[in-house]
């Protein structure tokens, strides 16, 4: 007999705050949401009368659009605020911006911000549900969830799989969310990248760090390639993109070290030819496009569970 | 005007005194210290069950004048000082404009006369604290600057620091160094370690401090000049200073209550009150600091009182300015966390807050000798209180000690023979 779990009213700040059972509930709910995405008329009344604001202090294509569509498919009213077109350019503080949004009686705020901890700060400041859509290098929990969803969909399970996370771990909120979520779901995590881009201090118990990406890839069920940023090169963290691609890039030869049916993920946007070769990015092993679709499903699941309580909520039934 | 402090337990480390004595104050001087002093004309101050010590001296505060009065000014800052038992504070020059001329030192000294506590002025080592050209160090010395510092900035250019050390040596003035190598800490907001790795916050590695302290000491040795290491925070830096002192190099050091009692695990990235430079580090570092304070490697305790306007601190962690106001919590934190936990004797703490800074910086204060200026602090070791930044006298807020239950609090503060603070009120 399983205990009733409700995520109603919960803030989603980082996956570290969720139990394996709660993550399981989100993934299972996302499965039914994905079916809806394949319907001819993609519209549900679940969130009719609910309002959602996306508050983005950093540029984004897929994450913001994904949240917006997820909300709209479920019948919510979704308003987008970006820093360049709001009072933020007039120097309004984060607290005041949040107060303003709260005063309009919104139910959820989806927030992306450059500063680590900004979403948690928001959760302390205002009442609406806060969903962290990326706070600096700290966390991007919905990305972590959609990676789990994609892996499970392709592999049929999570427990016992081996993942290799490659590249800029140090600055990656995706890596931190993956590590937090995957550890909980029993995935064996191996990370590799230039030493300058891997934290000097342990991220979490049980994560295996390699210097050579080949050692991380060896026998992997899943490989996630992280985006490399040009500004890191200018900061002296690695010499050139050419050398990066040669020593740390995922190409066909290196891919062959993994299991034959290895799944390749990338949170996007990709720098093809740097961290990932085009042939790998578009190979049959790649689920990079499906991740985008799954992202919508996972975010629909989050909205449903947070704003209505989902299937365990009586009103929903 | 004659005041008589009766029946207190007098702790005067400079004179090796720890016993129940009375203190007679005439005008601004201590006239007598002894048992059962009676003076029927004197205003009697009852110090039964209280501890009477020399007025605390804090060689590292930011009173923000001129130019940053929304954060603090000499009046509010001196109120915070006397409420914290401090009778003398030395204010840092990272103001707007930077205190880098004799004219500014003079005008601030004059302004300081309006304050409740004695205010000493620290001048900038380099013009505008830019680390490029020497300020008029000789002129500022003549104008009364107590010491020199580019606090907030490390003087990256070794040649400039060597020049400053050489130039100042004949004036017998000390350079106070904020020792964190600039490139290594750029962008960093907390200690680099397991917590920063988990939170994704950019780190300020302890090696940045170690390198900086080592270089400063080598330059001081080479110049045969004095250097004072501000707010030391890492274990290696303590070891470096200890070895240098053993070798006879003229180095001194200070530590803050926060570095002595807090560790990186206490960083909450939704609340910028733990954001300080150098950062709070690991338990190993904290323990090494206490050891250094006990064996004299670290000479004195300072607060690094760094108030900011509440709205400046109420921001995203990475955007908030560093520092918090420490004058009003220092003694309570030290007594509760160190003395009551039997890590250090009360008399040692008092020494590090009175006689030690006086000795290092050549201040004729920090003792209760007959004839000395009557700067005196009365402590209530039984007072139980909870830190509340709304009750602070400073304009600053966001102390990491807010909400903490403390035992021990300054009860009264006498500055130049006048009662400046008594039982919760500025007098």
Domains of chain B: 2-52+373-382+407-426 (2.30.40.10), 54-361 (3.20.20.140)
| Helix axis angle, A141-155 to A173-184, nearest 10° | 50
Question: Residue A82: what pLDDT?
Answer: 86
Closest-approach residue (CA) in chain A for B192: A201
DSSP letters for B337-376: IIITTTSS-HHHHHHHHTHHHHHHHT-S-SS--TTSB--E
Distance (Å) from the alpha carbon of A115 to chain B's nearest alpha carbon: 6
Pick B316's closest partner by Cβ from A121, A124, A173.
A121
CA distances from residue B395 to B311, B313, B370 in whole angstroms, order as listed = 11, 12, 36
- Residue whose structure tokens are 């890839």: A217
A residues 42-81 closer than 8 Å to B (CB): none
pLDDT tens-digit map of A182-208: 999 999 999 999 999 999 987 677 899
Distances (CA, A) of B173 to A115, A314, B360: 42, 76, 10
Helices (H), B67-120: 74-83, 102-112
Angle, helix A288-308 to helix A62-73, in steps of 10 degrees: 50
A199 touches chain B (CB under 8 A): yes
Given a cut of 90, whether residue A59 has pLDDT beyond it is no
Q: Taking 70 as the threshold, does the pLDDT of residue A77 lie above it?
A: yes
CA distance B414 to B425: 13
State the Cα–Cα distance between residues B1 and A315, nearest whole angstrom.
79
**Residue B335: DSSP 8-state:** I
Q: A124: which chain B residues are within 8 Å (Cβ-Cβ)?
A: 270
Residue-averaged pLDDT of chain A: 93
Please answer yes or no on whether B318 and A114 come within 8 Å at the CB atom.
yes
Q: Which residues of A touch B192 (CB under 8 A)?
A: 200-201
CB contact (8 A) between residue B201 and residue A136: yes
Question: Residue B198: its chain A contacts at CB < 8 A?
Answer: 176, 203-204
Residues of chain B found within 8 Å of residue A114, distances taken between Cβ atoms: 318
Cβ–Cβ gap B314/A93 under 8 Å:
yes
A192: β partners: A166, A210
pTM of the model: 0.95
Q: Quick check: A76 and A306 in contact, CB under 8 A? A: no
Q: Categorize the per-residue pLDDT at A311 as very low, low, confident or very high, splitting at 50, 70 and 90.
A: low
Mean pLDDT, residues A21-42: 94
pLDDT score for A87 = 75
Distance between CA atoms of A119 and A113, rounded to whole angstroms? Answer: 8
**Collapsing DSSP states into helix, strand and coil, what is residue B72?**
coil
Pick the catalytic residue from B12, B58, B285, B304: B304
Question: What is the rounded distance in angstroms from the CA atom of residue B119 to the CA atom of residue A168?
Answer: 50
Tell me if B52 sits within 8 A of B5, measured CB to CB. Answer: yes
- Gap from A169 CA to chain B (nearest CA, Å): 10
Query: What fold is seen in the domain A15-140+293-312?
Result: Rossmann fold (3.40.50)
> Pairing relation of β-strands A208-210 and B175-177?
unpaired
- How close does chain B come to A279, measured CA to CA in Å? 32
pLDDT in tens, A105-160: 999 999 999 999 999 999 999 999 999 999 999 999 999 999 999 999 999 999 99
**pLDDT confidence of residue A202:** 74
Collect all residues of chain B within an 8 Å Cβ-Cβ radius of residue A113. Answer: 316
Nearest to B318 among A116, A139, A202 (CB): A116
Q: Between chains, do A138 and B270 touch, taking CB under 8 Å as contact?
A: no
Listed by start position, the domains of chain A span 15-140+293-312, 141-291
Residues in A 125-164 with any Cβ partner in B closer than 8 A: 135-139
Q: For B267, which residue in chain A has the nearest alpha carbon?
A: A117
B265 part of the active site: no
Whether pLDDT at A2 is above 70: no
* Mutation site, B187, B313, B316, B398, interface A, largest A CB count within 10 A: B316
pLDDT means per 10 residues, chain B with 427 residues, are: 95 98 98 95 96 98 97 98 98 98 98 98 98 98 98 97 97 97 97 96 98 98 98 98 98 98 98 98 98 98 98 96 98 98 98 98 97 98 98 98 98 98 97
Specify the pLDDT at position A234.
Answer: 76
Distances (CA, A) of A16 to A138, B53, B240: 11, 50, 39
- Residues contacting residue A174 through CB under 8 Å, at least 6 positions apart: A140, A143, A144, A147, A224, A226, A267
Question: Which of A115, A144, A172, A176 to substitute to test the interface with B, most B CBs within 10 Å?
Answer: A115
Cα gap B135→B228, rounded to integer Å = 18
Q: Residue A96 pLDDT more than 50?
A: yes
Reported confidence tier of residue A296, pLDDT bands at 50, 70, 90: very high
Size of interface A-B (CB pairs under 8 A): 63
Q: Do B314 and A95 touch (CB under 8 A)?
A: yes
The beta-carbon neighbor of A94 closest among B199, B201, B316 is B316
Within 8 A of B311 by CB-CB distance, chain A residues are: 93
Instruction: Tell me what pLDDT residue A204 has.
Output: 76
Q: Is the peptide bond before B97 cis (omega within 30 degrees of 0)?
A: yes
| Closest-CA residue of chain B to A180 | B198
Contact criterion met (CB < 8 Å) for B198 and A176 = yes
Partner-chain residue, chosen from B198, B199, B315, that has the shortest CB–CB distance to A93: B315
Question: Would A15-140+293-312 and A141-291 be classified into the same CATH topology?
Answer: yes
Set of chain B residues whose Cβ sits within 8 Å of the Cβ of A204: 198
CATH domain A141-291 topology? Rossmann fold (3.40.50)
Classify the phi-psi angles of A45: left when phi > 0, otherwise alpha if psi is within -120 to 50, otherwise beta: alpha
Yes or no, beta carbons of B200 and A118 under 8 Å apart: no
Q: Is B316 close to A137, i.e. CB distance below 8 A?
A: no
Which residue of chain A is at minimal alpha-carbon distance from B268?
A117
Rounded Cα distance, B90 and B73, in Å: 13
Chain B residues with CB-CB distance to A135 below 8 A? 200
Q: Establish if A117 touches chain B: CB-CB under 8 angstroms.
A: yes
- Confidence bin at A3 (pLDDT 50/70/90): low
Instruction: Specify the range with the lowest mean pLDDT, choosing from A50-54, A286-290, B322-326.
Output: A286-290
Please report residues of B whose CB lies closer than 8 A to that of A116: 199-201, 269, 317-318
């Amino acid at each position: 007999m399983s205990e009733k779990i409700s995520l109603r009213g919960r803030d989603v700040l980082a996956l570290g705050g969720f139990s394996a059972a709660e993550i399981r509930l989100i993934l299972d709910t996302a499965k039914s949401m994905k079916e809806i995405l394949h319907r001819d008329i993609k519209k549900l009344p679940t969130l009719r009368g609910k309002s959602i604001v996306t508050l983005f202090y950093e540029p984004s294509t897929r994450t913001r659009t994904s949240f917006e569509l997820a909300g709209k498919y479920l019948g919510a009213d979704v308003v987008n605020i970006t820093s360049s077109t709001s009072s933020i350019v007039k120097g309004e503080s984060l607290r005041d911006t949040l107060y303003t949004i709260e005063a309009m009686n919104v139910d959820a705020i989806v927030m992306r911000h450059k500063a680590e901890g900004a979403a948690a700060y928001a959760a302390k400041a205002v009442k609406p549900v806060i969903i962290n859509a990326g706070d600096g290098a700290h966390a991007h929990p919905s990305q972590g969830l959609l990676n789990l969803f994609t892996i499970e969909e392709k592999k049929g399970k999570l427990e016992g799989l081996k993942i290799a996370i490659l590249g800029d771990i140090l600055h990656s909120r995706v890596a931190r969310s993956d590590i937090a979520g995957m550890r909980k779901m029993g995935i064996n995590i191996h990370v590799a990248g230039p030493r300058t881009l891997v934290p000097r201090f342990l991220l979490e118990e049980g994560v295996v760090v390699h210097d050579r990406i080949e050692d991380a890839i060896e026998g992997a069920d899943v490989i996630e390639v992280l985006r490399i940023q040009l500004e890191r090169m200018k900061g002296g963290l690695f010499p050139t993109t050419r050398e990066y691609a040669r020593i740390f890039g995922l190409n066909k030869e290196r891919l062959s070290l993994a299991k034959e049916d290895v799944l390749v993920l990338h949170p996007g946007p990709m720098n093809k030819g740097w961290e990932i070769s085009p042939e790998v990015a578009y190979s049959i092993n790649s689920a990079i496009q499906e991740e985008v679709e799954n992202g919508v499903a996972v975010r629909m699941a989050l909205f449903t569970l947070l704003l209505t309580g989902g299937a365990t909520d009586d009103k929903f039934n | 005007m004659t005041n008589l402090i009766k029946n207190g337990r007098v702790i005067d480390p400079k004179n090796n005194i720890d016993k129940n004595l009375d203190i007679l104050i005439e005008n601004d001087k201590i006239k007598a210290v002894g048992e059962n002093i009676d003076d029927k004309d004197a205003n009697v101050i009852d110090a039964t069950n209280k501890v009477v010590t020399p007025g605390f001296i804090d060689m590292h505060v930011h009173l923000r004048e001129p130019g940053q009065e929304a954060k603090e000014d000499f009046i509010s800052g001196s109120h915070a000082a006397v409420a914290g038992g401090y009778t003398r504070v030395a204010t840092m020059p990272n103001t707007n404009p930077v205190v880098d001329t004799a004219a500014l030192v003079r005008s601030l000294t004059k302004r300081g006369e309006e304050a409740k506590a004695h205010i000493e002025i620290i001048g900038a080592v380099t013009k505008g604290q830019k680390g490029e050209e020497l300020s008029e160090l000789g002129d500022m010395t003549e104008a009364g600057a107590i010491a020199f510092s580019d606090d907030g900035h490390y003087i990256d250019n070794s040649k400039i620091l060597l020049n400053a050390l050489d130039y100042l040596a004949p004036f017998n003035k000390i350079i106070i160094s904020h020792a964190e190598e600039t490139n290594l800490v750029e962008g960093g907001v907390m200690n680099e370690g397991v917590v920063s790795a988990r939170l994704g916050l950019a780190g300020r590695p302890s090696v940045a401090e170690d390198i900086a302290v080592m270089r400063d000491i080598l330059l001081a040795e080479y110049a045969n000049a004095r250097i004072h290491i501000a707010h030391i925070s890492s274990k290696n830096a303590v070891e470096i200073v200890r070895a240098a002192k053993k070798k006879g190099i003229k180095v001194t050091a200070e530590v803050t209550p926060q570095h002595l009692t807090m560790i990186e695990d206490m960083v909450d990235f939704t609340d910028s009150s733990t954001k300080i430079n150098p950062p709070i580090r690991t338990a190993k570092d904290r323990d090494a600091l206490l050891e250094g304070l006990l064996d004299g490697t670290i000479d004195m305790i300072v607060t690094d009182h760094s108030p900011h306007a509440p709205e400046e601190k109420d921001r995203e962690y990475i955007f908030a300015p560093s520092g918090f106001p420490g004058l009003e919590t220092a003694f309570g934190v030290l007594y509760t966390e160190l003395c009551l936990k039997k890590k250090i004797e009360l008399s040692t703490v008092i020494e590090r807050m009175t006689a030690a800074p006086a000795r290092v910086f050549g201040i004729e204060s920090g003792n209760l000798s007959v004839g000395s200026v009557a700067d005196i602090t009365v402590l209530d070791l039984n007072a139980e209180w909870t830190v509340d930044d709304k009750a602070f006298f400073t304009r600053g807020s966001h102390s990491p000690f807010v909400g903490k239950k403390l035992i021990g609090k300054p009860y009264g503060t006498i500055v130049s023979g006048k009662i400046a603070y008594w039982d919760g009120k500025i007098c």
